Structure 1
Amino acid sequence: MDDGQPVGTSQPLRVAVVDDHPVARRGIASIIAAFPDLEVCATAADAAELPRLEHGGVDADVVLLDLYQSDGRPGLSTITELSAHCPVLVLSASRSPAVALAAVRAGAAGFLTKAAEESAYATAIRSVATGTFYLSAHLADLLQAATLRPAADPQDTLSPREQEALGYIACGFTHQQTATRMGVSKGTVDTYIARIRTKLQLGNKAELASAALRLPPL
């Protein structure tokens, strides 16, 4: 069976796997090991445990990083730090366009859902290793549709607090987590998001993500 691997590749791509769940980590490593042009060079529960080079970069061609940390919050700062040295392919159970967009804004070279076919893991790793951005077709279609829809500039339309709330929601935070970070009640955040949807005429999460893309980074 043709698994789509490159022809004539002499050295396998070295992949570091970061996931705080041991069972998931072993499963991901097993998927990668099934492809002869890919090699798992390191596994870790946290990015801080990965072997580093002298300049601080990770000793790998690609880092496959589970987006959510053990505290349940997205590790966006980890993506930013790692992506300065090598491509980071973000792995997540979430199929939310807003979550994918937040990872991309943080510096991810690709976004892969954990439910993807095994061949998609290999394709995504090969893509980001060669400088080609990877996003599953499902998420790409949703984001494209939301981006193509004309919308008002959120910076001109929303209050500073509404912009802040939108930024957190686009980064994958729940309304309760957003409320905690903003120092307000969940009900207040619910009101902010309702106002945002009305002001910008937004419907689904993909459209919220598209609006957040036009905001400056948090």
Structure 2
Amino acid sequence: MFTVAIVADQPVSRAGLEKLASDEAGFRVVAAVATVEELSCQAASYDIVVLDLPTVDVTALDEIAKVGRPLVSSTWDGQPTLLAAIRAGARGCISRFAEQRDVREAMRVLARGGFYLCPRLAGRFQTELSSRRDEDQKGLARREIETLRWIASGFTHAQIATRMGLSEATVNTYAKRIRAKLNVTNKAELTRMAIELGHLPRIQRSSSAA
């Protein structure tokens, strides 16, 4: 029996996803909440976490991936891009307008340990791959992106080193590379670029814009 957690901001969507998963043989919904924060408070682990949100923060995805395989349902009209979501830990990406059969198939694929991309998103994904937008265009490596998130979130290099399990000297090196690749000279510019690339949590984007 695979356990499923659902995070959906709209009550109707949340109820619909809960019923869809519960009706599928071999799946059991053990949590259904409105926000990622509510799910985090439960301190549990799941086989699949369905995130049905209008926008998804890559930092939140990074945390969700530690407690279950994230299946992200979004409009995909803004940030993050599909590529950014996948790199942040998404194991499946579906459109909010996906057919029920596609949602069921996505859950089955994730339960088997695979990756699922909704047919509706195939064209968008191909375009992203072809144009090499966002972080691809900037040439940031995975660990550099992670470092950028922590720096833009207000952590010191020493704190980042502890969280990433690295030496402070290595974090300093990553920070220098990031500034060079993004062509920025100070933390304010670095934070602005993190926002533009979709690497800063939503709550902090609002604070930065204030």
TM-score by length of 1: 0.58
1:124 touches 1:134 (CA, 8 Å); kept in 2? yes
2:198 alignment partner, one of 168, 171, 175: 171
Which residue number corresponds to residue 130 of structure 1?
112
Q: Which residue of 2 aligns with 1:61?
A: 47
* Distance (whole Å) between structure 2 residues aligned to residue 48 and residue 179 of structure 1: 17
Check whether the contact 2:82–2:125 (CA below 8 A) recurs between aligned residues: no
Change in Cα spacing, 1:93 to 1:30, as seen in structure 2 (3 Å) is: farther
**Contact 1:18-1:47 within 8 A present in 2 as well:** yes
Task: Give SS of 1:128's match.
Answer: helix
Rounded to whole Å, the distance in 2 between the matches of 1:61 and 1:87 is 6
Q: Which has the higher helix share?
A: 2
Please say if residues 111 and 135 of structure 1, whose CA atoms lie closer than 8 Å, have aligned partners that are also in contact. Answer: yes
Change (3 A) 1:113 1:166: farther
Q: Which amino acid aligns with 1:100?
A: L
> Following superposition of structure 1 onto structure 2, how do residues 1-218 of structure 1 map, counting pairs within 5 Å?
11=1, 13-50=2-39, 56-58=43-45, 60-68=46-54, 74-94=56-76, 98-148=80-130, 154=138, 159-160=183-184, 167-171=194-198, 181=208
1:145 and 1:126 map into 2 onto residues whose CA distance is 26
Letter in 2 for 1:130: R
Residues 1:147 and 1:35: Cα distance change in structure 2 (over 3 Å): same
Closer/same/farther in 2, CA of residues 64 and 149 from structure 1, 3 Å limit: closer
SS in 2 for 1:80: helix
Shift of 1:64: 0.5
The percent of aligned pairs where both chains have the same amino acid is 28
Question: TM-score if structure 2 supplies the norm length?
Answer: 0.60
Return closer, same or farther for 1:21/1:44 CA change in 2, 3 Å cut-off: same
- Cα distance change, pair 95–149 in 1 and its aligned pair in 2 (3 A): closer
**Residue segments in structure 1 that go unaligned for 5+ positions in a row:** 1-10, 184-218
**Paired residues of 2:94 and 2:121 also in contact (CA < 8 A):** no
Structure 2: tracts of 5 or more residues without a match: 140-179
Find the aligned partners of 2:51 and 2:107 in 1 and give their Cα distance: 11
Which residue number corresponds to residue 210 of structure 1? none
Distance 2:109 2:62 in 1: 19
Give the count of matched residue pairs. Answer: 162
Distance of aligned partners of 1:172 and 1:100 in 2 relative to their CA distance in 1, 3 Å threshold: farther
